[in-house]
Structure 1
Amino acid sequence: MNNDIERVLYSEEMLGKRMDELAKDLTEDYKDKRPIIISVLSGAVLFTVDMIERLDIMAQIDFIDVSSYFGGLGSTGKVKLIHDLKTDVKDRHVLIMEDIVDTGHTLKYLMDLLADRGAKSIKVCSLLNKPEGREVDVDPDYVGFTVPKEFLVGYGLDYKGFYRNLPYVGILKPSVYQND
């Protein structure tokens, strides 16, 4: 897997340091709110687990799976709900944990869904933000790193379901995906 990486953008150490910083902000902002932390499957799971271990707040966790990529290289623009929440968000503070905000289609869908279900507040914490890829006007409230418009893998990010288990975020060599 490591041979398929053009270069490492964020090492395991850099990720950890930035998550410590984010956790301080989130702990302060949510100290008395008892939020529901919603992890977006499958990419945000590693980030979510590492973040909740750093948070000093009372919180519940739930998972949702939505997709606009369906295994391809880019977003189709159509979002499909694959696995719904088990927790009712009505009158609750919600913190969405995302691995990356790229086109914004998935995030917009999630925010609208949760608002329609009566969430008291909705904020987004994304490890990565790729504003150059944005097609929808949404932005995360908490951002680990702003990234270039490159094909990124590792630390939850995948290509065809692989590379998620890399302990860093790297740029995938174009030769790996150029024929798709």
Structure 2
Amino acid sequence: MEQQNIIYSNLEKLSNSNYVLTEGEADIKGWQVKTEAGAAIGKVRDLLFDPENNAVRYIIIDLDHLGADLEEKTVLIPIGLGRLSEDKDELILPDIHLDQFVALPQYIIGEVTHEMEDKIRYVIGSPAALRMEDTIVEIDRANFYRHHHFDKGNLTNRTTGVSDTNGLESNP
């Protein structure tokens, strides 16, 4: 039998780190999570932080209001997919379909692997790749976080929900 090497990502919960929010960054822990249409998805439990690169990578969301199969499920959503509500302490996610939430791996504290991160990217997909009907090819681990899914620009302002940076500079 072939033995598979498991490679864990070096991520930790923001609440367990020494990371300090900078000016303009919102502390979204405890905020409600909703779709763009206003439907409730769940609640932000915490954020996952990459101490090596001093960057937040994922939002940890406890799902609810999505049906009995998902009530107890906790998932990771890349930081770049969320945006702040313009007038409430709510996090807005693009319309992710119920079947995508079902397909997302369950988040278990301390057990985030490269394989799990790859699956999250595969399940959520890349809207540009989908529009072009391309498939996402093998993931380049060295540049994994240089993807628009990890651009935290949408969480630093409440004006339009659009990042004013391309995110590549802030995600080493």
Which has the higher relative contact order, 1 or 2, with Cα contacts under 8 A spaced 6 or more apart? 1
- Taking structure 2 as the reference length, the TM-score comes to 0.25
Which is strand-richer, 1 or 2?
1
